[in-house]
Amino acid sequence: MILSYGAHDPLEPSADLDWKSAFAKLWVRADGRLDRVLEDLRDLVQRSGGDWEDVLKGLEREGILRREDEGFEATAHGRQVVRDSVLDQVFGNLAGSLPGSHAAPRSEGRGLRERIPSTRPWESGDDPRDIDWGSSLRNVLRRGGDASRLREGDLESWETEPAAGCATVVMIDVSHSMILYGEDRITPAKMVAIALAEHIRRRHPRDSLDVVAFGNEAWRIPVDSIAELSVGPFHTNTAAGLKLAREILRGRRASDRRILMITDGKPSCVFDRGRLYRNSGDLDPRVVELTLAEGRRCLRDGCGISTFMVAQDPVLLEFVDLFTRAVHGQAFHTGLDRLGEFVLRDWAASRSRRRE
């Protein structure tokens, strides 16, 4: 199912509208501010010809809202309902049809296991490449033999465990342009990040996902708080976002490291010798140079980068083309209506390639 994200009214009044789904969409659009959610939901209910009190009581019965002395409070269950609904709305049935979308079988193959610093007696069927020859030879010496008298019972094998799978950082542009020009771009970006996090949690629990917001600077967003992320009066410091993403991924034990960047603009600021340098005009050579340098550091650290453009500004397209070639990455002109599909397909394809 493709969602339509309008500038002011992403939901059309309807007598058969799913109010839980509507609550979830409005929650993300309102940055998790319950007062705004309830105000927008009440307006939608009334324009749909529904009874506001009945809808409110229904949300209470579902455990989404809890009545307090001074009003309502969203419950932990209610926040989970938001994540469940966003996953269904953004990805729908798409997730189950993609390569690498199902849980890995028990026998995962050599490429998906890693050694841990302990050994055990070798057993028939163990991979010979996992034999710890040092420990095995010491066993020979303990029983008074020499290397030429190695027996099966002397062999020690390294313990292994499934390797951590795919470590992903989603970078979300929170510069002011993400809500300018009559188009809400931040809401679909947040919904895609929420949906991908929930998809990974359910289907690939050994994988990891982190979220980085970048404006004048970059900061990390707790996965459970993506909906609360809001746009500010910021420029676009792409280099700072890439640097933080790279540092996060460096600490992840994973065989595949990915950066998925959702943006609608060219970089317009950068930290240079400890100070923030800004230029909102055309592509600034200084900003571009430092941004490309950070992208190349990501490449050297083994981080693949995919850029998802939710705008078609010629200057943005020029920069993304330059950046993509510099980091040997991929770029997608998704717009808003197919952002979720492109992000999930790119993430799943990368994960599938790693398994081959």
Task: Say whether pLDDT at 349 is over 90.
Answer: no
* Same CATH fold assignment for domains 19-93 and 166-355: no
pLDDT at 7: 38
Pairing of strands 65-68, 71-74: antiparallel
pLDDT at 96: 57
pLDDT at 234: 95
pLDDT at 110: 45
pLDDT at 140: 82
Residue 354 pLDDT class (50, 70, 90 cuts): low
Q: What homologous superfamily is domain 166-355 in, according to CATH? A: von Willebrand factor, type A domain (3.40.50.410)
Contact by Cβ (8 Å): 43, 13: no
Residues 133 and 120: their CA atoms lie apart, in Å, by 12
Task: Say whether pLDDT at 100 is over 80.
Answer: no
> pLDDT of 104-139, one tens digit each?
333 334 445 556 667 888 887 778 888 888 888 888
Q: Extract the tokens encoding 55.
A: 């809808």
Over the chain, what is the mean pLDDT? 85
Task: Say whether pLDDT at 258 is over 90.
Answer: yes
pLDDT at 109: 41
pLDDT at 125: 75
pLDDT at 55: 92
Provide the sign of the torsion angle of the four alpha carbons 215, 220, 223, 225, taken in this order: negative
Contacts of 25 (CB under 8 A, 6+ apart): 3, 10, 11, 85, 86, 89, 191
Residue 151 pLDDT class (50, 70, 90 cuts): confident
> pLDDT of 53-86, one tens digit each?
999 999 999 999 999 888 899 999 999 999 999 9
Residues 189 and 176: their CA atoms lie apart, in Å, by 14
pLDDT at 111: 47
Decide which of 146 and 109 is more confident: 146
Task: Say whether pLDDT at 185 is over 60.
Answer: yes
Residues 290 and 270: their CA atoms lie apart, in Å, by 7
pLDDT at 341: 86
Question: What does pTM read for this prediction?
Answer: 0.78
pLDDT at 353: 66
> pLDDT of 22-38, one tens digit each?
999 999 999 999 999 99
Task: Using alpha carbons, select from 101, 201, 103, 109 the residue that is nearest to residue 162.
Answer: 109
- Across 138-239, the runs of DSSP E, i.e. the strands, are 156-162, 166-173, 208-214, 218-221
Q: Is residue 336 helix, strand or coil?
A: coil
pLDDT at 115: 62
Q: What are phi and psi of 171, to 5 degrees?
A: -100, 125
Residues 254 and 235: their CA atoms lie apart, in Å, by 32
* Amino acid occupying residue 101: S
Residues 23 and 44: their CA atoms lie apart, in Å, by 10
State which fold the 19-93 domain adopts.
Arc Repressor Mutant, subunit A (1.10.10)
Give Dmax over CA atoms of the chain in angstroms.
Answer: 90
Region 273-279: mean pLDDT is 95
pLDDT at 237: 98
Decide which of 306 and 203 is more confident: 306
Domain boundaries, the chain: 19-93, 113-162, 166-355
Q: Extract the tokens encoding 246.
A: 């790279």
